Amino acid sequence: MSETEFAICPYNESHRIAVFRMPKHLVKCELNYRGPPLKICKYNAAHRVLDMEEHLKECPYYRRFMDNKCLEIALTTRTAPTQEDGHVVSTPL
Ligand SMILES: [Zn+2]
Ligand SMILES: [Zn+2]
């Protein structure tokens, strides 16, 4: 039982490539590619798409990135000193 994940090569639908080999494959396949230029997703270099805006709507890596960002913001606001319950604690950050 192998757990290898396969993905479709963005340059050629008939290429089914193991996900871990995709970066290498893309470099090679890009050289033979004759179609319209594809944009490289900022959040996963293995994502090559024509329409980046459309792609970001469904890119799981982008979504994860945005989730992390929201988490970061939540954590930052939580550490803001809002102690108004009587005892003042001075915690040097
Ligand atoms: Zn390919
Ligand atoms: Zn992407």
How far is C-alpha 56 from the chain's CA centre?
9
Is residue 58 a contact partner of residue 43, using CB atoms and an 8 Å limit? Answer: no
Say what the pLDDT of residue 83 is: 58
Is residue 46 a contact partner of residue 35, using CB atoms and an 8 Å limit? Answer: no
Closest ligand relative to 31 C-alpha: 1
The string of pLDDT tens digits covering residues 4-54 is 899 999 999 999 999 999 999 999 999 999 999 999 999 998 899 999 999
Q: Where do the domains of the chain lie?
A: 1-35, 36-74
The string of pLDDT tens digits covering residues 78-91 is 765 655 666 666 66
Q: Give the distance (Å) from ligand 2 centre to CA of residue 72.
A: 21
Closest ligand relative to 35 C-alpha: 1
